[in-house]
Amino acid sequence: MSEIDPITLAVLAGRMEQIADEMDATLFRAAFNPIIAEAHDASHGLYHATSGDTLVQGKSGLPIFVGVMAFAVKAVIDKAAADGDLADGDIYIFNDAHMGGTHLSDMRLVRPYFRDGEMFCYLASVGHWHDVGGAVPGNYNPSATDAFQEAFVLPPVKLARAGAIQQDVIDIIMRNTRLPQSAQGDLNGQLGALDLGVKRLDALLDEYGADTVRAALDALGHRAEALMRSELDTLPDGRWEAEDFLDNDGITDQALPIRVALEIKGDQMTLDFTGTAPVTAGPVNIALPTAVATAYVAIKHIFPALPANAGVMRPIDVRIPEGSLLSAEFPAPVGGYTETILRMIDVIFSAMAQAAPDRVVANAYGTINALSIAGKRANGQPWVMFSFFGGGHGGSIESDGLNHGNAPISTATIPPLEILEAAYPVMFKQWALRPDSAGAGQHRGGLGAVYEIELLEENARAFLFGERGRFAPKGIVGGSDGAMNHFEYEQDDGWHEPPMSSKMLGMQLKRGQSVRLETPGGGGYGPASDRDPAAVARDVALGFLSSDKATELYGPAWQEVQP
């Protein structure tokens, strides 16, 4: 293996990141469904030829995919080894979440990259397809008790053999979606992104040679590990614990604990989730690959300067108990994985806040509030509006939390209402910040949001899969909790709330009826008594905080300040 100098290493790191970034951009421009095209719920990267470890990931893709796609690529490596027929030009496709992590809506394409007849690395693309069959349009089924009720399950199969597309595989997939045109467009976009990745890798290796690029990839992994160990060495040794809860599993209305013990010894860290609730009947379970990847996402937030590389996780031991809802096995339902991984991140942050409060923020709003509304147009054509929604982020040592941000599992954006209204027969009657929703603190949390959506077609059904309806986002270092999630839907006799607070299946809507979602605010950082009265007065003047609430939370001093 050739040695590599620091300047060449930096240049190659940038070039390879650019390849992944350009693959991201290619799919975002080509995708048919707004969850990919507008919200950027997708990711691309380069992965190790034998281990599947993440080598490089694009900066625009979802961080959660950094870890889970390594498991997805390893599943393909194992499949190819068992079959013994891997060839240049092969492309595998699958959505099995228990092999590749996350949930069945995320369709994965994995392509081996050969150089001079030798395997060099894998290229992979993952994107959230609009609909993949199952009982609920959009696939967030809060009452699912197995994977088959969530979506069509596809194990790793060859979509292309030595460059020849297998049309029968495409035909099977398209027969199992309510929106085949959207799915076909997303598939073509992912294939285009992989083609581009091959073209760019060819150019890179033509310029620098395979040995030099391979040496750079190895060096980047070693440097990521060294940086992680250096960061851990600066923190105090000790053990800190945290606990939080999911509202319920959508089947049984019982709170589910998520627990972690965070331990630091020198340049090593352990994250032990012993004590977490067992596998549930409902779809808040996650598969082991997802749990490990979530730990990586939390670590990346705590140590933001570290690269997106598997070497970061080498000094970290993630212990996931067997039989827990964090290590569910097929066919346990995992469709609501987003809610559970957000709670995992919350407890890791809460534990780290006891060790190094300057490193973390208070809890963010903690739910994507997956909402789908589906029906048929007057011409009989089916439509499915699926989207996720924002809320407040936690305050930090430096500032107040972000108002109406997206979940900290991603760099995705919330689809604009103009796009949703143009694509579906709905009208947003309200899209606004939610007053009095931020957790109080020296630096308050961010505000949640209020969304009210009216149906314009004759009838439709709505489905909600959310969280934080019973347990508020926590403040840290003396900060207060944010407001909890609140959802209601309109019927002939007025407004109703879901019996399980944050989850409900098949709400029947008529033309002119609405659903209303009030999302949580972020937790506060530091005691409210330490907040600058001028900041309180400014929040009141902006309508973020009512006068009565300001006095209740911060005392009367703000009234003496001119905003």
pLDDT in tens, 358-415: 999 999 999 999 999 999 999 999 999 988 899 999 999 999 999 999 887 766 678 8
User: Mind listing the pLDDT tens digit for each residue in 173-183?
Assistant: 999 999 999 99
The answer to whether 77 and 119 are in contact (CB under 8 A) is: no
Residues 6+ apart with CB under 8 A from 199: none
How do beta strands 256-265 and 238-246 pair? antiparallel
From the list 348, 390, 399, the residue with the least C-alpha distance to 365 is 390
User: Mind listing the pLDDT tens digit for each residue in 66-103?
Assistant: 678 899 999 999 999 999 999 999 999 999 999 988 99
Q: Which helix (H) or strand (E) holds 346?
A: helix 337-355
**Which pLDDT score is estimated for 4?**
84
Separation of alpha carbons 44 and 125, rounded Å: 5
Residue 562: beta bridge partners? none
Is 127 domain-assigned? yes
Is 128 domain-assigned? yes
Tokens coding 521: 């605010």
Across the range 269-297, mean pLDDT stands at 95
356: number of Cβ within 10 Å: 14
Query: Of all residues in the chain, what percent carry a pLDDT higher than 70?
Result: 98
**Which pLDDT score is estimated for 225?**
93
Separation of alpha carbons 247 and 257, rounded Å: 9
Please tell me whether the peptide bond between 499 and the residue prior to it is cis, using omega within 30 degrees of 0: no
Is 308 domain-assigned? no
Tokens coding 518: 């009030």
Q: Global pTM?
A: 0.93
Which pLDDT band, with edges at 50, 70 and 90, does 506 fall under? confident
The answer to whether 362 and 445 are in contact (CB under 8 A) is: yes
Is 241 domain-assigned? no
Tokens coding 18: 């650019």
H-helix segments, 61-209: 64-83, 97-100, 167-174, 180-208
**Which pLDDT score is estimated for 411?**
65
- Give 483-525 as a DSSP string: PPPEEEEEETTEEE--TTSSEEEEEEEETT-EEEEEPPPPPPB
Distance of CA 253 to the CA centre of its chain: 25
Q: Which helix (H) or strand (E) holds 22?
A: helix 6-30
7: number of Cβ within 10 Å: 8
Q: Which strands form 503-510's sheet, in the order they lie side by side?
A: 382-387, 370-376, 459-465, 503-510
81: number of Cβ within 10 Å: 10
From the list 550, 532, 530, the residue with the least C-alpha distance to 540 is 550
Separation of alpha carbons 11 and 133, rounded Å: 44
How many structural domains compose the chain? 2
Q: Which of 226, 260, 278 is the last residue of a domain?
A: 226
For residue 475, what is the DSSP state?
Answer: P
Residues 6+ apart with CB under 8 A from 231: 303, 306
**Which pLDDT score is estimated for 238?**
97
Report the amino acid identity of residue 33: N
**Which pLDDT score is estimated for 140?**
84
**Which pLDDT score is estimated for 444?**
98
The answer to whether 383 and 455 are in contact (CB under 8 A) is: no
Across the range 495-505, mean pLDDT stands at 94
For tokens 């409900």, what's the residue? Answer: 504
For tokens 């827990």, what's the residue? Answer: 324
**Average pLDDT, rounded, for the chain:** 94
**Which pLDDT score is estimated for 35?**
86
| 157-162 contacts, C-beta under 8 A, 24 or more apart | 157/92, 157/93, 157/94, 158/90, 158/91, 158/92, 158/93, 159/91, 159/92, 159/93, 159/109, 160/89, 160/90, 160/91, 161/87, 161/89, 161/90, 162/87, 162/88, 162/89, 162/90
Report the amino acid identity of residue 469: G
Is 182 domain-assigned? yes
Separation of alpha carbons 414 and 389, rounded Å: 6
Q: Which helix (H) or strand (E) holds 43?
A: strand 42-48
**Which pLDDT score is estimated for 2?**
55
From the list 236, 322, 336, the residue with the least C-alpha distance to 286 is 336
Is 437 domain-assigned? yes
63: number of Cβ within 10 Å: 22
Its domain, for residue 193, covers: 6-226
The answer to whether 267 and 234 are in contact (CB under 8 A) is: no
For residue 320, pLDDT beyond 70? yes
For residue 1, pLDDT beyond 50? no
Separation of alpha carbons 254 and 277, rounded Å: 11
From the list 516, 368, 515, the residue with the least C-alpha distance to 450 is 516
Residues 6+ apart with CB under 8 A from 203: none
Tokens coding 406: 């997206």
Report CA dihedral (190, 192, 193, 198) to the nearest 10 degrees.
130
For residue 251, pLDDT beyond 70? yes
The answer to whether 442 and 531 are in contact (CB under 8 A) is: yes
Separation of alpha carbons 442 and 475, rounded Å: 11
Across the range 276-288, mean pLDDT stands at 96
Separation of alpha carbons 376 and 390, rounded Å: 27
Is 417 domain-assigned? yes
Instruction: Give the HSE-up count for residue 555: Cα atoms under 13 Å, Cβ half-sphere.
Output: 12
User: Mind listing the pLDDT tens digit for each residue in 553-563?
Assistant: 999 999 998 65
Is 321 domain-assigned? no
Tokens coding 543: 């309508």
Q: Which of 226, 241, 257 is the last residue of a domain?
A: 226
